[in-house]
A and B are shown apart, each in its own frame.
Chain A
Amino acid sequence: MIKKLKSHEAILVTLLIAEFLFFNATGRRFATIDNLFNIVRHSVEIGLLALVMTPIILTGGIDLSIGSTLGLCAILFGKLWRDAGLPPWAAAIGAILVGGACGLLNGALITQLRLPPLIVTLGTFSLFRGLAEAITRGVDAFTNFPESFLFLGSGQILGVPTQAWILLAVAILIWLIVHRTVLGRSFRAIGFSSEGARYAGLPVERRILFCYVLAGLVAGIASLTYTARLGTAKADAGYGYELLAITAVVLGGTSIFGGIGSVHGAMLGVAALAVLNNGLTRVPAVMNIASELSGVLTGALLLSALALGTLPKHLAAWRARRHISLH
């Protein structure tokens, strides 16, 4: 198990280095500070979502609704600010709390009623997005936010984009929780066997609920950086982000079956995808098909990473079978 984790991350780091070298050689103005900042700015929301998706997947669950939660939080932020007249910071807190409430709904349905996370979050995926559309009647867009808020998405602190600091802070927090606390260790235990964890005395339901509420809260934060970057909040915010987050997390070595994985792996996954996405738009030969190619390569990359990850297991099994048949 340890070996699988190490080999997966080693592959990912190699991939990242390979991407850098390749795009530096073939891409136009890839290796510049401006471009690096772009890559970071564009991956903050996916990064935040991947960070909180990791504990959920570690416990053996999944959350397909965080993209929709992001959208709902974004428009509620806009509504609180514009229609209820709250100052941006108060509206922001409101948005984050709404995210937490969405996570609470998911977590409650999953833990209290023992429902499968896949299908619960599939339902809330539609429900939350639907609520966002209903509240805005589909057409409303909130815009003209004050500069003090937009700074979150377009400004810089100490020469680094503002939202990068937010991502860093959340990343450190989540990493500490998952890798350095008893709480975090229990996620893996629950992922391996929730029954076993329960017999060991762990409050399994409470821990799982925590993961989903945390995901909702961070989705709320992501909705703020998204809105600040774009300068506008609409019901379609964050559409499709959950799949990108899952891709990054799995790419980073976290097993969808639960029990194995790491936060830094997820971050490496986000980085690999972001660099790929950005790099393709700078290689003259494929510039005009960058978006489509990015999708195809992401899918292929995901499959290769998965397949390679199981290689040690299959090699060992093959060797064992050979061993048995030879003797």
Chain B
Amino acid sequence: MKRHFRELSVLAALLLMLLVLALFTPNFYEPQPLLSRLTAAAPKLILACGAALIIISRQIDISIGSLFAVCGTCAGLLAAAKIPFAFAIAAAIGIGAIGGAINGALVAGLGLPSIVVTLATMVTLREALRLAQQGVFINLPEGAQWFGLAMKPGQSFICAVALAVLVVLAFATKHLAAGRFIYAVGSDAEAARLAGIRPRAITFAVFVLMGALAGLAAVLNMAQSPQVDPNSGRGLELEAIAAAVVGGVAVSGGRGKLWGVLIGLLLLVCIGPALTYAGVKPYWEKAIQGAIILLAVVADGLRSSARKGLFD
């Protein structure tokens, strides 16, 4: 219980919010809109999982949003050119992986700081995409939406894929050696190296994984509508990192649970709609989001300070 205190406290906050919504604005739980909202959040969950792993390994990646946009646009262009959908999906994930590999090579290979590397790739990718696509929407062919399924099965499928990714990653980080290595490298890279783990290989792999996940998320996003907006993805890195941090992932590395990330994401994703339902003016949203992130981080800090006995 104590070990998971952080994640459980976020869960409590989420449940409280859900309860308040159930009492005052039960419309929130109308099934179809709720499913649509969850489906819209599914790509974000995948991104947040990837971001969590990156943060656990003591790095950061702020190019997630730009990579997402690039993969989505490429997949869209391929699909619009009547290339088989499966190939477009594979291409998106592949391009994402390549982008992640570039980040990873610079960070792990050359030892460059991840904040600056991913800042540079974020700007480069975003501007290059704008040069190429000019913000023009891409109209997808018939049958691309929902992967060719009807709407409800399609939405359920997308949510299922996101949850499956979460489960697989959670399992891998708990039970596979490679997964545990991520935590080890994030806790203390030098100690990990001495223990026979190769920190640079692990770091590289995490970035490649993040890139591939960004590609997958872009595909799941693309399948939700008949058009691709090349500007999508703006601000997603902030949302993903915020979800991870609120969900208990420590920015100092080495700590965090993926299911905590799910809760953190749900909490943040519900704020906007909750404000709308409560009739709160939209210009409060950013301030509230910032306050929640700070609260989560301060709570973390207070707890670890208390544990270290700094308040005696």
State the A residues within 8 Å of B (CB): 62, 109, 113-116, 118-120, 122-131, 133-134, 136-138, 243, 246-247, 250, 255-257, 289, 291-296, 298-300, 302-303, 306-307, 310, 313-314
Contacts and interface: CB of A to CB of B under 8 A. Distances in A.
B302 A113 contact: yes
Top 3 nearest A-B pairs (CB, nearest first) are A130-B287, A127-B290, A295-B127
A123 B289 CA distance: 8
A115 B301 contact: yes
B24 interface: no
A198 B134 CA distance: 52
Given A114-B304, A122-B238, A138-B283, A292 B290 contact: no
A136 B121 CA distance: 34
Contacts, number: 150
Interface residues of B, number: 48
Interface in B219-254: 238, 241-242, 245, 251-252
B117 interface: yes
A175 B125 CA distance: 34
Contact of B293 (A123, A289, A291): A123
Nearest to B289: A126
Given A118-B60, A119-B245, A306-B112, 8 more contacts: A114-B305, A118-B251, A122-B241, A122-B245, A127-B287, A130-B283, A295-B126, A300-B120
A113 B299 CA distance: 10
A133 B119 CA distance: 25
Given A119-B293, A120-B294, A302 B288 contact: no
Contacts of B117: 303, 306
A293 B298 contact: no
Contact of B283 (A62, A114, A137, A300): A137
A246 B289 CA distance: 24
27 contacts: A109-B298, A109-B301, A115-B297, A116-B251, A118-B115, A118-B251, A119-B241, A119-B293, A119-B297, A120-B294, A120-B297, A122-B293, A123-B290, A126-B293, A127-B290, A130-B285, A138-B283, A247-B120, A291-B127, A292-B128, A294-B127, A295-B124, A298-B120, A299-B121, A299-B123, A307-B110, A310-B112
A256 B301 contact: no
Q: Tell me the interface secondary structure of chain B in the complex.
A: helix
Nearest to A115: B301
Contacts of A109: 294, 297-298, 301
Contact of A295 (B123, B238, B288, B297): B123
B196 interface: no
The residue among A62, A123, A131, A307 with the most chain B CB atoms within 10 A of its own CB is A123
Q: Tell me the interface secondary structure of chain A in the complex.
A: helix
B200 to A, nearest CB: 13
Contacts of B131: 289, 292-293, 296
A306 B298 contact: no
A307 B106 contact: yes
Given A113-B302, A295-B126, A127 B110 contact: no
Nearest to B286: A130
A137 B287 CA distance: 12
Contact of B106 (A120, A133, A303): A303
Given A257-B113, A289-B131, A134 B123 contact: no
Given A289-B131, A293-B131, A306-B117, A113 B305 contact: yes
Contacts of B128: 292, 296
B286 A126 contact: yes
A123 B297 contact: yes
B290 A133 contact: no
Nearest to B125: A299
A116 B250 CA distance: 9
Contacts of B123: 243, 295-296, 298-299
A130 B281 CA distance: 12
B116 A250 contact: yes
A69 to B, nearest CB: 12
B294 A124 contact: yes
Contact of B124 (A120, A124, A299): A299
B168 interface: no
B179 to A, nearest CB: 23
A127 B291 contact: yes
B110 A137 contact: no
Given A119-B245, A122-B241, A128 B115 contact: no
Contact of B127 (A116, A128, A138, A293): A293
A251 to B, nearest CB: 9
Nearest to B281: A137
A115 B120 contact: no
Contacts of A137: 281, 283
Contacts of A113: 298, 301-302, 305
Contacts of A125: 290
A137 B284 CA distance: 8
A5 B283 CA distance: 45
B301 A130 contact: no
A128 B289 CA distance: 11
B130 interface: yes
A199 B60 CA distance: 30
Contacts of A300: 120, 124
Contacts of B294: 109, 120, 123-124, 127
A109 B111 CA distance: 29
Interface in B247-293: 251-252, 281-291, 293
